Amino acid sequence: MKVAAIQMVSTPDVAHNLARARHWLQAAAAQGAQLAALPEYFCLMGLQDSDKLGIAESFQDAAAPIQAMLSQTAAELGLWLIGGTLPVHAATPARVRNASCVYAPDGKLAARYDKIHLFRFDNGSESYDEGRVLEAGEQPTTFVADIDGQALKVGLSVCYDLRFPELYRAMSFADPAQPPCDLFAVPAAFTYITGQAHWELLLRARAVENQAFVIAPAQGGTHQNGRRTWGHSMVIDPWGEVLACLPEGEGLAMATLDLERLRSVRQQLPALTHRRL
């Protein structure tokens, strides 16, 4: 099955960002993708964090433009669509949830995951604290996609979640009666500094330790707010091999997921069955 990680350099203009996202989704479908994933904050990279509050949507509101675009585009293109993230109204005043919404090829909502781990960074010259605007999620989330008659169990995560391997274990083994995840999605907007140091390292580690594919669509360039994101959208196989990578700028990182390869890795090195904790 063919998948596409979409890389963007989003702006403060929501309409422009939605048009660019739709453009790349159409390009992915034209190249044979059956599942496509957008990056974190694909719909808005504002001039300040509080800009998210102004475009926040009510969950499953039929008039909400961001969710409507994702649903309609998934249906029109016949794609499984992991919709990066968008701000959804939260219970806490002056906060939003950073929500990743997944749509099936018929346009229906298949899953929603709210980012659990909130990023905070301060190196003396650059600082960032998502907790000023975001309310953390609390529930690990998976869904099963039926692609060409094959069931693909997908675990959802967002950006900073990547640093917490226990989340990925929880998604695979919350129910011992169910199989582990075949694919993890990591839509992200890693900073240039942290991305250069840790992005590929962490992605490949999550793939290897969970013997699963990873799709990681990212923001990749210099934004109008002056922030530079690392990019390097990737698709990685269960052995840690990078199948596709787009270093910077808008575009697609496309690859074919071979489920026989996944089964072979797990059979030859059955590390997941050797867990003791």
* Mean pLDDT across the chain: 96
Residues in the chain: 277
* pLDDT tens digits along 100-118: 999 999 999 999 999 999 9
What is the per-residue pLDDT across 171-187, written as a single tens digit (0 to 9) for each? 999 888 899 999 999 99
Tell me which amino acid residue 76 is: E
Residue entry with tokens 């939003």 = 96
User: What pLDDT was estimated at residue 122?
Assistant: 85
Q: Over 80: is that where the pLDDT of 126 sits?
A: no
Q: Does the active-site annotation cover 101?
A: no
Residue with tokens 């293109």: 77
Over 80: is that where the pLDDT of 49 sits?
yes
Per the residue annotation, which of 159, 181, 248, 250 is the catalytic one? 159
CA separation for the pair 265, 212 (Å, rounded)? 9
Mean pLDDT value of segment 45-63: 95
Q: What is the arithmetic mean of pLDDT over 186-205?
A: 97
Closest CA to 164 of 111, 210, 202: 202
Is 115 noted as a catalytic residue in this protein?
Answer: yes
**φ/ψ (deg, to 5) at 184:** -115, 135
What pLDDT was estimated at residue 140? 98
List 43, 101, 115, 130, catalytic entry: 115
CA distance 190 to 199: 8
* Spatial separation of the C-alpha atoms in residues 271 and 180, rounded to whole Å: 12
What is the distance between the alpha carbons of residues 218 and 166, in angstroms, rounded to a whole number?
22
Confidence category of residue 76, pLDDT binned at 50, 70, 90: very high
pLDDT digits (tens, 9 = 90+) for 212-270: 999 999 999 999 999 999 999 999 999 999 999 999 999 999 999 999 999 999 999 99
Instruction: Indicate if 181 belongs to the active site.
Output: no
Mean pLDDT along residues 136-153: 97
User: What percent of the chain stands above pLDDT 90?
Assistant: 95
pLDDT of residue 123: 83
Once rounded to an integer, what is the mean pLDDT over residues 152-161? 98
Question: What is the set of domains in the chain, with CATH numbers?
Answer: 2-274 (3.60.110.10)
